Amino acid sequence: MKWDVSLLVVALVAVAGEGRVFAEQSSPTVVLDSWWSGDYAKNGCEQSKKFMEENRRLVYQFGCEAVTACPEMMPRYSACTLAFSGPAAVAHGFEDELITQFAMSSSCKGVTVARYGPDEKTSGAAQAALRREHWTLIIDYVVGAPTQSWSLIQRSLLQRGSGGLHQADGSTPAKIASDVCAIVLERGGTTAR
């Protein structure tokens, strides 16, 4: 039986391609969803502004502590009005610090981080990472909060019903990087809340 050379080449390329995909996936990739954090920050600022517009008279008359949700909304409103560059830019500044923590942490060695978002910070690496197995990191960025909540999703595991979702509240950039790396490198980490 004679082998068709073109079929043999296609078969070898397919096998080599599968090996490359396996090698790429042996090094976990985390894609930071910059669209989400920027939109979350903007929406939070809009909510706090609306709250203050609707409750300004009550706050002035009775004080912030006497108005439901004011102690939570007032710091957010103040931070949002002081965010001259806008809430999304403040969220992206937090992401910059987070990416620095990923790069500096020895516990994150072997983890690739890419940012996917609405501006020039989105790289070709993020586009490529989205086409293969990856973890998605989502920051629920609240302007003015010293710590942030986050979610880490590995869709393939979530779809199979074997986990794939991790969440935490009140985390600094260093803590987020540490926990995320522990999870994706299978060294433990934060479980779903």
Distance separating alpha carbons of residues 49 and 23, to the nearest angstrom: 49
Reported pTM: 0.76
Classify 29-38+86-184 by CATH class: alpha beta
Task: For the chain, 193 residues long, give each residue's pLDDT as a single digit of tens.
Answer: 333 333 333 333 333 333 333 334 468 999 999 999 999 999 999 999 999 999 999 999 999 999 999 998 998 999 998 877 899 999 999 999 999 999 999 999 999 998 888 765 566 777 777 778 889 999 999 999 989 999 999 876 555 555 678 999 989 999 999 999 999 998 655 544 4
In degrees, to the nearest 5, what angle opens at C-alpha 59 toward C-alphas 57 and 64?
175
Distance separating alpha carbons of residues 85 and 78, to the nearest angstrom: 14
Show me where the domains of the chain are located. Answer: 29-38+86-184
